[in-house]
């Protein structure tokens, strides 16, 4: 089976590529990535030379290249996206081009090449924000209420996926996931930013009061979920992916401080981000009940493992700090 992973040199994409190449050695895996700042060839260097792995440097917004690379493809896993909220606030147009137009181009190429299955990886941010005292969590039936350029672009891409299903009969699934952490994450996101700063003896910046809550999942568990959905998910369905571990940004940083033997003096509170959503929470019962998926990693243990990875891979992340 030919499996195409777009955005496969990014954080989640490189972990998924490694997962798929090793878990499904009978499949031929083709990674498509534009190798922008967050997509790095080095994140896949250990796979070079494997007979079932190929990297194609291309933009999903290029129709001719997408039709060429999707020739004979059985499955497309779409992880190509601009994903950093701060960058979206300062310059939203690249998010519109990649996340909306790029998804449309990719869907149309899948239709023309008669791809058997298209899975689209999205975010919990499309549902908007929950209050801290609200016991509810988002479900697949929750209305879309994106509040920022990034989340709006991802919500738009979700709608396009559903439109290609309803209009053209493309066999698609969508997954909306919470905050991922783990190896190969670009050091602009909260956890790797904090780790790399603490490793250099610097302070960790924390937005606002630090009480914003996120639904955290170890990236390997997310990859397992994508695998399950791609193989057994019902076409036309959406699945929420969550380890159901909600924790505030301040609590995450406090756990990291303990791992580094640092105290609260290592935290620097900074002005809050524009439109900063207060809380995300996902109900993953459908994924668990229909497909039998469960997360395998405890948050605290996986966080310590992530710290260990960054300590052991300074040559991967240190060159990124100047960029």
Exposure letters 230-248 (e unless 16+ CB within 10 A, then b): beebeeebbbbbbbbbbeb
Strands 172-177 and 117-123, how do they pair? parallel
CA angle 16, 102, 273 (to 5 degrees): 80
Tokens of 236: 């036309």
Distance CA 262, CA 239 (A): 39
Pick the catalytic residue from 125, 221, 224, 246: 125
Distance CA 52, CA 19 (A): 12
Would you state the torsion angle of the CA atoms of residues 159, 11, 283, 305, taken in this order, to the nearest 10 degrees? 180
Q: Is 32 exposed, middle or buried (0-12, 13-18, 19+ CB in 10 A)?
A: buried
The verdict on whether 124 is a catalytic residue reads yes
Pick the catalytic residue from 150, 184, 239, 280: 150
The verdict on whether 125 is a catalytic residue reads yes
How many Cβ atoms from other residues are within 10 Å of residue 161's Cβ?
Answer: 24
Pick the catalytic residue from 33, 59, 82, 124: 124
SS3 of residue 257 by DSSP: helix
Give the residue numbers annotated as catalytic, written as ranges.
Answer: 124-125, 150
């Amino acid at each position: 089976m030919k499996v195409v992973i777009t955005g496969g040199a990014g954080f989640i994409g490189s972990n998924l590529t490694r997962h798929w190449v090793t878990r499904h050695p009978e499949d031929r895996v083709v990674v498509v990535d534009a190798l922008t700042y967050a997509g790095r060839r080095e994140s896949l260097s250990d796979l070079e030379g494997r007979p079932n792995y190929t990297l194609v440097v291309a933009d999903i917004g290029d129709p001719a290249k997408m039709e060429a690379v999707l020739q004979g493809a059985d499955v497309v896993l779409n992880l190509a996206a601009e994903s950093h909220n701060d960058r979206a606030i300062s310059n939203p147009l690249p998010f519109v081009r990649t996340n909306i137009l790029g998804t449309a181009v990719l869907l149309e190429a899948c239709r023309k090449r008669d791809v058997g299955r298209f899975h689209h990886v999205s975010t919990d941010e499309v549902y908007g924000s929950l209050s801290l005292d609200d016991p509810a969590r988002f479900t697949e039936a929750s209305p879309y209420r994106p509040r920022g350029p990034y989340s709006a672009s991802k919500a738009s891409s979700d709608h396009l996926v559903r439109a290609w299903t309803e209009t053209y009969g493309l066999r698609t699934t969508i997954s909306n996931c919470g905050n991922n952490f783990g190896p190969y994450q670009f050091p602009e996101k909260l956890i790797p930013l904090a780790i790399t700063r603490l490793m250099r003896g610097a302070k960790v910046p924390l937005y606002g009061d630090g009480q914003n809550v996120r639904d955290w999942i170890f990236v390997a568990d997310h990859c397992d979920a994508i695998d399950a959905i791609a193989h057994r998910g019902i076409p036309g369905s959406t699945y929420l992916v969550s380890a159901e571990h909600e924790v505030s940004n301040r609590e995450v940083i406090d756990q990291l401080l303990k791992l580094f033997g640092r105290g609260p003096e290592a935290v620097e509170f900074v002005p809050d981000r524009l439109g900063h959503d207060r809380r995300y929470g996902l109900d993953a019962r459908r994924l668990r009940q229909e497909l039998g998926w469960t997360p395998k990693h405890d948050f605290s243990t996986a966080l310590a493992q992530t710290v260990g990875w960054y300590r052991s891979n300074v040559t991967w992340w240190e060159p990124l700090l100047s960029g």
